[in-house]
Amino acid sequence: MKRSTLVLLIGILAIVIVAGCLLLLSTNSLRAASAVTPPARTPAQINLLTVFLTGLLTGGLTCLAVQGGLLATTIAQREEQKLEDRAKNNGNALPILFFLFSKLIAYTVLGLLLGWFGSLFQLSLTTQVLMQIAVAIFMLGTALNLLNIHPIFRYFAIQPPKFLTKVVRNQSKQKDFFAPVFLGAFTIFIPCGTTQAMMALAIGSGNPLLGAAILFAFVLGTSPIFFLLGYFATKLGDVLHERFMKLAAAILIFLALYSLDGALALAGSPLTFRTIFSKPQAVGRQEISSEPTLALTKGGYSPTSLTIKAGSLVTLHLINSNGQGCIQAFTIPRLGIQKVVPVGSSGIVRFTAPLKPGQVPFMCGMGMYRGIINVI
């Protein structure tokens, strides 16, 4: 087998193995992390996988155009200095691998910064709602731009200032072998649509480790395709490119609506996507309690409905056995109550039930895991 083919196969295998292991590891370390740091504001398990898949299926292609072009320039300049067959022996796999590893590290650090920046805006309900709406709008705008709906959506794509792009350009002119490494890191200044949406997600997570994990998962997802296509340096047909753009847009819209739905619930709106599309739950016969207990678990809150007497003084016991991420931020938007109960601990919320009978929703800090308090 030719040496270059061997390097290529090793490269692909390495990326797939590293991807699998690190994704598992990062999910587990997130569980530990969210126990000691301020509650992460994203259901970690769901989003990381979606993020990785977005990168895998669409991110690699949408970014390949110029980031790949940059890489191709450095490779071409390497070959100018050698005889063609010597270049073929070593193959182009190594510079691409260097490029991708460097990009991975740079983006993970960026995710750390973005998540930390997001966490500065603390748990005020209003801020959280605004943040989620902003993230949803940005993702929707990016998706609509990917679908070429209207030129106005082009403004959702952030173009880095000229002086930054000049630096990236100068790096690509170097015939140095380490140029790909610098290039990989500098690509954070020329992110494409899907990458920017992921950056928005990282900010919205409000947790540096989660932000880092999100961008890490995304870049990891883009790597296999980037590597394969970069290696063969072939341009994919226009039709396939169109299909990938549509898939990226669809995933972004899904993430945007999910974020928006949570924002609506947190804002105390009785109308959210879930209430419109799901059948109202039948309220079973329930014991009225003035001291109910609510368990915070991995899958949400249990039970999902509580019954209390109108106008009464209620002492709610919250026990967190293994509730991760936003579940730790127990919220009753209508009553303006938010109590953070870290995993493995318990807490108490005291309030006076509203005088009017009705339903008062409770939910996690991002509006995603929900339940109902029946006031009778």
Partner 1 sequence: MTRKKFKITGMHCVSCACDIDWSLEDVAGIVESKTNYATQEAEVTFEQNIISEQKIITIIGSIDKRYQAKIL
Neighbours of 287 (CB within 10 A): 7
Out of 169, 175, 298, 317, the only residue in the binding site for partner 1 (CB under 8 A) is 169
| Cα maximum dimension of the chain | 86
Task: Return the SS3 of 202.
Answer: helix
221-280 residues in contact with partner 1 (CB under 8 A) are: 245
The only residue of 82, 86, 154, 298 in contact with partner 1, by rule CB under 8 A: 154
C-alpha–C-alpha distance, residues 54 and 52, integer Å: 5
Provide the β-strand partners of residue 194. Answer: none
Distance in Å, CB of 245 to partner 1, minimum: 8
DSSP string, 206-249: --HHHHHHHHHHHHHHHHHHHHHHHHHT-PPPHHHHHHHHHHHH
Report d(CA 193, CA 256) in Å as an integer: 14
Query: Which of 23, 63, 213, 318 touches partner 1 by CB under 8 A?
Result: 63
Residue 281 sits in the site that holds partner 1 (CB under 8 A): no
The residue (of 54 and 307) whose beta carbon lies closer to partner 1 is 54
Of 42, 30, 108, which is closest to residue 367 (Cα–Cα)? 42
Q: One symbol per residue from 306 to 335: x for binding partner 1 (CB under 8 A), - otherwise; what is it?
A: ------------------------------
Q: Which of 62, 171, 223, 259 binds partner 1 (CB under 8 A)?
A: 62
For partner 1, the closer CB: 82 or 154: 154
Write the DSSP symbol of residue 346: E
Residue found under tokens 């990938």: 244
Question: CB neighbours of 11 closer than 8 A, spacing ≥ 6?
Answer: 93, 96, 97, 227, 231
Stretch that binds partner 1, among 126-134, 160-168, 208-216, 353-361 (CB under 8 A): 160-168
Cα–Cα distance measured from residue 143 to residue 33, given in angstroms and rounded to the nearest whole number:
31
Site string for partner 1, 183-222 (x = CB under 8 A): -------xxxx-----------------------------
State the DSSP code for 153: G
The site that binds partner 1 (CB under 8 A) totals a number of residues, namely 24
Q: Beta strands 337-340 and 305-308: pairing type?
A: unpaired
Residue 155 beta carbon to partner 1: minimum distance, rounded to whole angstroms? 5
Write down the least CB distance from residue 66 to partner 1, Å.
Answer: 3
Instruction: Specify the stretch interacting with partner 1 by CB under 8 A; choose among 95-103, 129-137, 165-173, 306-314.
Output: 165-173
Q: Which stretch binds partner 1 (CB under 8 A): 119-127, 158-166, 199-207, 214-222?
A: 158-166
Rule CB under 8 A: say whether 162 interacts with partner 1.
yes
Residues 70, 183: contact at Cβ < 8 Å?
yes
Q: Is 159 in the site for partner 1 (CB under 8 A)?
A: yes
Given the rule CB under 8 A, which residues bind partner 1? 62-63, 65-67, 69, 148, 151, 154-155, 157-160, 162, 165, 168-169, 172, 190-193, 245
